[in-house]
Structures are given as C-alpha cells and as structure tokens.
Structure 1
Amino acid sequence: MHDQTFRLPPLNALRTFWAVMRKGSFRSAADDLLVTPQAVSQQIKLLEDILDVPLFERKGRVIEPTEQAIVLSHFIDAGFEEFREGIKRVTKATYRNRININVSPYFATRYLMQRLERLRDRLPGVDLRMTTMVETPEFARDEVDVSIQWGFGGWKEYDTARLVHDPKILCCTPEIAENLSAPQDLVKQTLLHPVLSRDLWARVLRHLNVERPDEAGVIEFHDAATMRRATLSGLGVGLISRIDALADIRDGGLVAPFGTDALETMHEQDVPGFFLIVPRAHKRVKTIASFCDWITSEDWDSIPDAR
C-alpha cells in the first residue's frame, strides 16, 4: 500500500462552490461573487477534477447538487464559520458586548418582549440588537449571531434547541362551521396555510384520518398574524396558535368546530414549535453563549394565557 498525497483544493474554488450551493445556480453565484458564469464553471470543474467526484448534475440550464456536493457543503459551511470566528478573535471582536438576534415576529411579540428585562438582569449592560423575520437568516450575510424560528426542527448544520411548542387549534368563523359536521368536510373548504410549512395541514388531516384530494383549495400566508386575520375574515379554515385561538373563541369571532382539544394528541414531531438556532462557532463568544444559556433556561410554557 503506497501513500497518496492529499491535495487541498484552492480556497477560491471552495468559496465558489459554497456560493453555488447557497444560490442554486452558476449565474446567481457569479452575480454574488462579481465574476462571470464562465469563471464559476471553471472553478467548479477544477474542484471536481481535484476531488475526482461529480458535484453537480447539469440538466440543460438547471443544475442539481449530487449527494457528494450536499455532504461537502455542510463541512465547507462549518469551515467558513471557523474562518469568521478566527477573524473575530484576532480583531478582539469576540469580546464585544453586542448580540444580534433574529426572531420570528410571533415569538418576539408573544414571548420574548415581556421577558427582556429578565435578560438584562442576567446580562447587565448587554447591547441587544433584534430584527424580526419569518425565514431563517443567512447568519454571515445578515450579521446575525443567533436566531429563533418557527418550525419542526431539522436545521442540521446548526446547534438547535426547542424553546416551546406551538400547538394549533383548528378554527373558522361560525358561518363556515355550519358546513363542518365531520373532519372529512374539511376537504370541501379552503385551507389556510403558513408558507413556512406547507405540510402542516397534511399532518393535521392525517391525525384526523382525513384523505385530502389534490384539488383541495389552499391559500398561503407569509406569517401567522395575516393567516389569523384571514381566518377571522372568513376566507377559510385556519390553524391558529392556541394563545390566539382561545382569545378569538372567547370573543366570538372564531369557533373550533371539532373542539379545542381535537389536535392535542398529535405526535410531538407533528407539533411545530419555536427553536433556538445558533451556528456552532458563535457559541464560543462568551456573550452569545450566555444568551443561549439564558433563553434555554426560561420556562416559555409559563407565558400567561399560553394554555
């Protein structure tokens, strides 16, 4: 058996590959890198030759990453995080007292805002910069340290922790409820979807033992607040967060045609929640690590009217 010298690919080729994986096309990556698509193609070809593996399947103008490319992208993403962290350390940026957090608008208004004073007690003098967005940010590009987002988990490239479940109640106006005598009647109604989880209704209907036809009516909404307003306006049947649903039911604007507990026995993996999402390298910064310790130690289920 003879030794084979490992040839490390040029950093520019790895950077180009990373851009293609993030942008989904050579042209978009070229725009991001301020080079031509031909230059991107040359760098990808160089990387494929060095690694001796195909990274993309080219189907006309569309490219699809191979399994090898998907695996490699996770390690390169982690590597660039390490580079950024190293630069922060040598420039003393590690010791800053600022935390840039990006939070789901719903979690910010319903959970986080009323507890910020507790954070300041835990981290006196911290400079907290908060933005709200319903999608997971690109941490480096958006200069975000930590994010709190809605979903079912699955951010495998980051450290994640579920902070609180977000159980739903199936709701509609009293007028629509008159046409819902059994769960199977839902297939005749317009179902209001959150864009972030197009399979949420599929999980709910499966739990209710309802087969959904492909032609079922659907309207999608970008955020929970808009979907709630649409449900109150009678546009269709919505899946409303328990906190809001109970309030709207008390006020008479909505009803739960199958009861407020119809979805309580859903499998845990089918119940969405809010997750802390942190690039692993970011937790080496003391202030960020302290923030993560605080937010995961809080009992978010104890929020008033959460049940």
Structure 2
Amino acid sequence: MTTRLPPLNSLRVFSVVMKQGSYRAAAEVLLVSPQAVSQQIKLLEDMLQVELFHRKGRVIEPTEPAIVLSHYVRAGFDEFSNGVRRVTNASDRNRININVSPYFATRYLMERLEHFREREPTADLRLTTMVKLPEFDSDEVDVSIQWGFGEWKDLEVTLLVQDPKIICCAPELADKVETPEDLQNHTLLHPVVGRIHWQRVLSHLGVPDATAKGEIEFQDAATLRRATIARLGIGLISRIDALDDLRSGKLVAPLGRDALNDMPEGDVAGFYLVLPKAHKRIKAVAAFCDWITAENWVALNKAN
C-alpha cells in the first residue's frame, strides 16, 4: 500500500512553525496570515491523523510526533536543496549569500572583508544583515554569522569571537545600583534574541530568582546602547562599546567594569558561524568558511 505524502507547502509551514515557536511568528516569516498557517497545520494533522501541537491559548507546544517529524522534514528540504545545487552546477558558482549580525558587520567584518576579497578575487559576495537566524533555503542564504550562545540544532556551528558585556547605566542611575539585588528595581534592557541573557547574568551575580521591575527588548545592539545612554534602564553593553562610553562619561558601570569577567564560558554570548553542513559542498562557501574561522577576531576585539 502506497502512503500518500502531505503537500510540500504544508511541510514547509510545519518546519517554520517548529523553528519560530508560534503561528504568528511563522506567519511573519512566510508573509501570510496566522490563519493561513493554522489551516496548513490542520491539513497536515488531518492527513497524518496525528496531533502536532498542543494549543494553550496563543501558546503552542509541539507534541512528541511533531518533534520526530521535524527532523525528517528538515533533512528532506536539505536534500532537495542539494539536488537543485547539483543539477545547476551550484558547487562551481562564485556567489556567496551571507547573512551577518548587524553588530558583527559594523564592528568586525567590514574592515576585514577586503582580506577575503584579496584571497578570493572572483568571489561574488551578497551581504544581508538580519538579527534572527535566517531560513537558509527560503531566504537563499549560504552562511550566517549569528549572535547567541551557539545553541542551533542540526546546523554546523563555530564560535568566531565572544561578546563579553559590562553592566552599564546612565550616571543619573548609578547611585541606585550598589548591589546586584538593586538591579531588580530597574528596567532591564536586552536584545530580542537575548531574552535569557539577563537571567544568566543575575544568576551568576547571586540573584538567581530575580524579577525585574520591567524589561524592554531591542532589535539591535546599537539601539539598546542608545536607550541605556537615554536613561531608559540598565543595559548589557558589549565591552568594546562600553569602554568607549565609560571613558567619555556617557555611561557608568555601577557594579564595576569587571563584574562579569568570571562568568562561565557557556554563559558568555558570542558571534558564531552558522550554516547547514551541506552548504560547504559549494567551493566558494567552503573558502569563505575557511577564511573567517582562520581570522583572529579576538585580537580585533582587544584592539578596540
């Protein structure tokens, strides 16, 4: 008996929902309505006769069958991409589609990118800057440089450089932050992709169950930095930026600039090279990966 396979569109929608964690977020990625996403998931559940998500209001939780299925769906789309590349001689193309964290692009990559161009003069580089991890296939991205903690499953992940932080605030707020516990009385500022960052910091400082007065999320590090200077709250500022602002007097480090120096390595965010392993079969992409992992980004960090 032949098993009837679900439509590829339903499987793709399912894959995006699993990655994004909600119908609404998946709808934004797919440029459709949340209702359209829900309909595709319902179609898939009806065909498989399996419940894929537990619905609790607006929150969804994947069931065990959904978790199992997601691995096969991702592997299947990877194979589709590999097949297309093979029949179109993609392994010989010179174009490299790179997505870069905006902060890494401005603070690290731009002044070094010419080194790669000297090494691979025929490479055709196409750069985009998105904060969130792209959908490599649908966004046509070959390789990405992401800020985070290296926790991207089913992808090849290589740490390029850590991004240590300093707890900073405007001078007007400094007198109100004398101990780590005082941080709970202020609005804590963090990037959208770093919601767990403050939890790790507070736990390290001995305040594991802290509840902050409030939180504000920002799309990028530059806006978060400006918000900290504008007295909107307490910010975790990248060390190379914080030292500039501390010297100029725009910000202060109420708990000391070295308060987070001894954080466990796994709790320190960084910039990672992230890509599906199969993408390295493209010669130009493999050359870029070899170059960027060989560069000494730590030295550049210290130089700043």
Is TM > 0.5 for Structure 1 vs Structure 2? yes
CA contact (8 A) 2:10 2:43 kept: no
Instruction: Extract unaligned runs of 5+ from structure 1.
Output: none
CA contact (8 A) 1:16 1:44 kept: no
Q: CA deviation at 1:153?
A: 1.3
Query: In the alignment, what sits opposite 2:46?
Result: 45
Structure 1 residue 277 corresponds to structure 2 residue 274: yes
Instruction: Extract unaligned runs of 5+ from structure 2.
Output: none
Query: In the alignment, what sits opposite 1:168?
Result: 165
Q: CA deviation at 1:42?
A: 4.2
Q: Residue 186 of structure 1 aligns to which amino acid in structure 2? A: L
Q: Residue 224 of structure 1 aligns to which amino acid in structure 2? A: A
2: CA distance between counterparts of 1:65 and 1:231?
A: 37
- Per-residue CA shift, 1:187-220, capped at 9, x if unaligned? 1122112111111111111111125543522222
Tell me, what secondary structure is at the counterpart of 1:141? coil
CA contact (8 A) 2:23 2:37 kept: no
Structure 1 residue 88 corresponds to structure 2 residue 85: yes
- Per-residue CA shift, 1:157-188, capped at 9, x if unaligned? 21111111000001112211112222221111
Q: CA deviation at 1:287?
A: 0.8
Query: In the alignment, what sits opposite 2:189?
Result: 192
Q: Residue 194 of structure 2 aligns to which amino acid in structure 1? A: S
Q: CA deviation at 1:41?
A: 3.5
CA contact (8 A) 1:105 1:134 kept: yes
Structure 1 residue ranges, 4+ long, deviating more than 3 angstroms after superposition: 12-15, 23-32, 35-44, 53-64, 211-215, 304-307
**Pairs within 5 Å for 1:203-218:** 203-214=200-211, 216-218=213-215
Tell me, what secondary structure is at the counterpart of 1:138? coil
Structure 1 residue 267 corresponds to structure 2 residue 264: yes
Q: CA deviation at 1:20?
A: 2.4
> Which of residues 273, 286, 291 is equivalent to 1:289?
286
Per the normalisation by structure 1, the TM-score is: 0.87
Per the normalisation by structure 2, the TM-score is: 0.87
2: CA distance between counterparts of 1:63 and 1:212?
A: 25
Tell me, what secondary structure is at the counterpart of 2:104? helix
- Per-residue CA shift, 1:81-123, capped at 9, x if unaligned? 1111111211223211000000000000001001111111221
Count of residue correspondences? 295
1: CA distance between counterparts of 2:175 and 2:37?
A: 60
CA contact (8 A) 1:13 1:46 kept: no
1: CA distance between counterparts of 2:201 and 2:60?
A: 34
In 2 relative to 1, CA 219–67 (structure 1 residues): closer, same or farther, beyond 3 Å? same
CA contact (8 A) 2:97 2:126 kept: yes
Q: CA deviation at 1:75?
A: 2.3
2: CA distance between counterparts of 1:148 and 1:39?
A: 31
Q: Residue 13 of structure 2 aligns to which amino acid in structure 1? A: A
In 2 relative to 1, CA 14–66 (structure 1 residues): closer, same or farther, beyond 3 Å? farther
In 2 relative to 1, CA 30–126 (structure 1 residues): closer, same or farther, beyond 3 Å? closer
> Which of residues 144, 147, 152 is equivalent to 2:144?
147
Which stretch of the first structure deviates more once superposed, 289-298 or 236-245?
A: 289-298
Structure 1 residue 125 corresponds to structure 2 residue 122: yes
Percent same amino acid among aligned pairs?
56
Which stretch of the first structure deviates more once superposed, 37-46 or 98-107?
A: 37-46
In 2 relative to 1, CA 209–123 (structure 1 residues): closer, same or farther, beyond 3 Å? same
Q: Residue 16 of structure 1 aligns to which amino acid in structure 2? A: S
- Per-residue CA shift, 1:247-269, capped at 9, x if unaligned? 11111111111211110000111
Query: In the alignment, what sits opposite 2:248?
Result: 251
Which stretch of the first structure deviates more once superposed, 70-79 or 233-242?
A: 70-79
- Per-residue CA shift, 1:2-59, capped at 9, x if unaligned? xxx8x6552x446523322414559958959xx89767634433334xxxx6534466
Structure possessing the higher radius of gyration over alpha carbons: 1
1: CA distance between counterparts of 2:39 and 2:103?
A: 43
Q: CA deviation at 1:278?
A: 0.4
RMSD: 2.7
2: CA distance between counterparts of 1:187 and 1:58?
A: 32
Q: Residue 170 of structure 1 aligns to which amino acid in structure 2? A: I
1: CA distance between counterparts of 2:191 and 2:211?
A: 18
Q: Residue 185 of structure 1 aligns to which amino acid in structure 2? A: D
CA contact (8 A) 1:187 1:212 kept: no
